[in-house]
Amino acid sequence: MPSSQAAVLAGLGSWLPPRVVGNEEIAQRLDTSDEWIRTRTGIAERRVVDPGTSTVDLAAEAGRRALASAGEGGADAVVLATSTADQLCPASAPQVATQLGLNGVAAFDVNAVCSGFVYGLATGAGLIAAGIASRVLVIGADVFTSLVDPEDRGTVPIFGDGAGAVLLRAGDADELGALGAFDLHSEGELAELLWVEAGGAKNRRSEDPRDHYLVMQGQTVFRHACARMAESARAVLDAAGWGVGDIDRFIGHQANIRILQTCAKQLGLAEDVMYSNIEKVGNTSAASIPIALADAAKDGTLQPGHRVVMGAFGAGLTWGSTLLRWPEIIPG
């Protein structure tokens, strides 16, 4: 019998701003230290955009690299996962599509913050399953440093800027690279645990400038992130008929090394299964998983046939997971 149609990962690319900000640079202006940051987050440095560089710029470069990785064919839809769109209105995805020469294609933003890339993959897979598109460019891109209070030592060391992208094409469910089950969730009543209060329709212009920056209740977010990511990973494993021991690599949202370690412990994963590149890039929000995928493919951590689970947790609250068997792919 013919296998069912699926969304297949056919291209992969990432892009980081050239400016590197190490812990010592942050420690020089805030009450913190390299040791304090490394111990609590696992981060040594992060990338930060120069003035004038935007989310669209980062997204377009990552998208360009993913398209090149996939070869000929372009894309007939662009899904941009971001919570730092260049303008409040319109969405940034059409501008990204134009920069890539994809004029006239469907293009829109998805905002699920740090879970955005997993939500974007589900959206791209849905477009393919519905027959609306045959090749979908899914990009995770954020200039999250634009949302961080420069005087807040609790958030400044954590976040960096960057973009990563994949090209999904229509294919068969039994191919390497075919996306499997998805598990997506939200819990809006806990939005205030991790949010920017002002700037939207409800509170457009707050008199308190702090309302325009990210507020994070770190310890509570930590507990939810560990539990939800582990639960979601188990759900897609069950749907696929895989056991925890079948996982070759877990590529989780790079929020904090302790979250990744705790999630691995709750799942019963071996240390070498949980991949992390957070030391060099920090938390890049919706970009973190595709950047990690690209880095892991480049350094040989990901090999064709590996069974890979991707999981994320972010503001909203939102969380989700998906899985695939890794394809033979050269990232851009």
Residues 6+ apart with CB under 8 A from 236: 180, 181, 182, 183, 309, 321, 322, 323
From the list 23, 253, 256, 263, the catalytic residue is 253
Alpha carbon distance, N-terminus to C-terminus of the chain: 35
CA–CA distance, 294 with 14 (Å, rounded to integer): 6
Written as one string, the DSSP assignment of 269-312 is --GGGEE--HHHH-B-GGGHHHHHHHHHHHTTSS-TT-EEEEEE
Q: How far is CA 126 from CA 79, 169, 189, 316, in A?
A: 11, 12, 27, 22
From the list 23, 111, 256, 283, the catalytic residue is: 283
Buried b (16+ CB within 10 A) or exposed e, 119-152: bbbbbbbebbeeeebbbbbbbbbbbbbebbeeeb
What angle (nearest 5°) sits at the alpha carbon of residue 257, between those of residues 37 and 156?
40
Q: Is 111 a catalytic residue?
A: no
Whether 114 sits among the annotated catalytic residues: the reply is yes
Respond yes or no: is residue 226 known to be catalytic: no
Active-site option among 23, 111, 114, 224? 114
List residues with catalytic annotation.
Answer: 114, 253, 283
